[in-house]
Amino acid sequence: MANHSDSKGASIQVIHRDERSFFMSVVQFVVRSLRKPLSNREVKHESGSIKLTLSKAKLQMRAISERIVCDIHIYDYFPLEKPTKDPKKRIYYFAGGSWQTPPSGQHFRICAKMAKAMPDTIVSVVSMPLAPNNPAPESFPMCLKLYRALMAQADEAGERVILAGDSSGSNIILAMTLEALREDDDQAQVDVKHSPHPTAIMAICPSTDLTRDNPEIWKIAPRDPLLTPDIIKGTAKAWCGDWDPTDRRVSPINNDISLFARKGINVHGITAGCDVLSPDGILFRDRCAKEGVKGQWAHWENQMHCFILTMPFGLPEAEEAVQWIIDVLNKE
C-alpha cells in the first residue's frame, strides 16, 4: 500500500493513494455488472429546481431546513444543539448525477457527516435545475444568478463560503465561479464595486472538458467499472444543449484559470485512477498549478468515479476520503 505526496509547482500539493480493499473490489465488480441497465435508465423529473423529499436516512439525525433562493431549493443542515457562537462558514454542495438526477441519499449522508464534523459550518445541499428539461443554456444562467445571490448574502452576514461538488456538480461550481470572476474582471475598468466570491472550492472527480477528446480517456476505459466513453459523451451532450462543448461555461478547463489565483480562491480536489473523467481532472489540476492556484488534491489510483458515495455503506476508502475532505475544509 502506497501513500505519498508530491508538489505540482509551488501551489498545488497532491497526495497519492493506491489501496483497494476487498469490499471495494466487490463493489466495483457489482457496479460493472449493473452498468448497462443503470446507464439506460430513462430520466424523468420536473422542470426547474426539484423539491426534494427528506427521509430520516437523509437527515441522519441532523436538523435541516428548506429555503428558496432565486427559485432554487436549498437544504441547510444545522447543529442539533445551538452553538456557542453563530457559524461563520457555509458549504454549498452541488451533487453530481450526470446533470440529470437530483441529490441522492448518499449525498445527503455525506453532507450530514460534514455538518457533524464541522460545528462552525452550515452545510447546504443545492437542488439545481437539471437536463434534459433544463440543459446548460437554461440552467447555467439560473445557477449564476443563484451564485451572485448566495455570495451577497454571505458577504452581508460576514460568512466565508466554500463551494463543493462531485462529478457534474464539480463542473457547475468550477464553471460558474470562473464565469463570475470573468464577468467581474471584464467590469473592473468601469466598476470598482466589491463582488464577493467563495474562499475555496472542493471538486470531487470533476468533469472539466465536455468535448471528451482526451485520448487518455480510452486508455483508462477498461479499468472504469462505472463510466464508458460513450456514456460520458451522452451525458455531456444532454447538458450542453445548443452550446458547443468547448464553451467555457460547460468546459471550465477552457476558461481563464488564473482568475482563481488572482482572487485568492483555493481549489482542492479528488481524482480517481479507475475513472474516465480523471485525465481531464488531472489536466485541470495541473493547469491550476501552472497558474499559481493554491490547493490540496488527492489521487486514489485504484478507485472508481465518485467512490466517496460508498461512504454510507462503510467502505474504508470512501470513509478516509470524506475525512480528508473534512480535514482540508476545516482549515479554510
Look at residue 79 in the predicted model and tell me its pLDDT. Answer: 67
Q: Cα–Cα distance between 280 and 271 in angstroms, integer?
A: 10
Look at residue 40 in the predicted model and tell me its pLDDT. Answer: 64
pLDDT tens sequence across 233-273: 999 999 999 999 999 999 999 999 999 999 999 999 999 99
Edge-to-edge strand ranges of the sheet holding 266-274: 3-8, 12-17, 295-304, 266-274, 200-204, 160-166, 89-94, 121-127, 72-78, 63-69
At residue 60's C-alpha, the angle toward residues 56 and 66, to 5°, is: 70
pLDDT at 177 over 90: yes
Q: Cα–Cα distance between 117 and 132 in angstroms, integer?
A: 36
Q: Cα–Cα distance between 43 and 100 in angstroms, integer?
A: 7
pLDDT tens sequence across 143-172: 999 999 999 999 999 999 999 999 999 999
Stretch 185-194: mean pLDDT: 70
Look at residue 7 in the predicted model and tell me its pLDDT. Answer: 59
pTM of the shown model: 0.93
Look at residue 5 in the predicted model and tell me its pLDDT. Answer: 61
For 52, 158, 174, the CA distances from 75, given in Å and listed in that order, are: 9, 20, 21
pLDDT tens sequence across 314-329: 999 999 999 999 999 9
Cβ-contact 10, 292 below 8 angstroms: yes
The model's confidence at residue 36, banded by pLDDT at 50, 70 and 90, is confident
Stretch 290-307: mean pLDDT: 97
Look at residue 279 in the predicted model and tell me its pLDDT. Answer: 98
Grid-cell match 460547460, residue found = 250
Look at residue 1 in the predicted model and tell me its pLDDT. Answer: 40
**Bigger pLDDT: 308 vs 54:** 308
| Amino acid at site 54 | L
- pLDDT > 90 in the chain, percent: 80
Mean pLDDT, all residues of the chain: 91
- Bridge partners (DSSP) of residue 225 are none
Ordered structural domains, the chain, with CATH = 3-38+48-330 (3.40.50.1820)
Look at residue 86 in the predicted model and tell me its pLDDT. Answer: 75
Element counts in the chain: helices (H) and strands (E): 10, 10
